[in-house]
Amino acid sequence: MNKIYKPNEFGKMIGRTVNTLQRWDREGILKARRTPTNRRYYTEEDYYNIMGIQQENVENQVNDVIIYARVSNQNQKDDLKNQVEFLKTYA
């Protein structure tokens, strides 16, 4: 699901003012989406489009994750393996 941004947040993300976003909406440059109460909002997809980022590239990026597991002594070696597998699954 796309994250939703208020015009002020979105403007800061792209380096533009709310007034510019309103003007772009009127001129059709970047049409704002509207809530049922007619408030403007923007999505992550709008951000990628305006910044010229292809979404495939973003979705295919791999983020490195570090996991840490430990046990108190050698007798718990099997517990360590279980911890590692659980953390791999979670991460």
Residues with catalytic annotation? 72
The alpha helices in 1-91, defined as continuous H runs, are 7-14, 18-27, 44-51, 55-60, 77-90
Q: How far apart are the C-alpha atoms of 8 and 74, rounded to whole Å?
A: 55
First to last CA, the chain: 20
Return the residue matching tokens 């309103």. Answer: 22
Eight-class DSSP state of 15? T
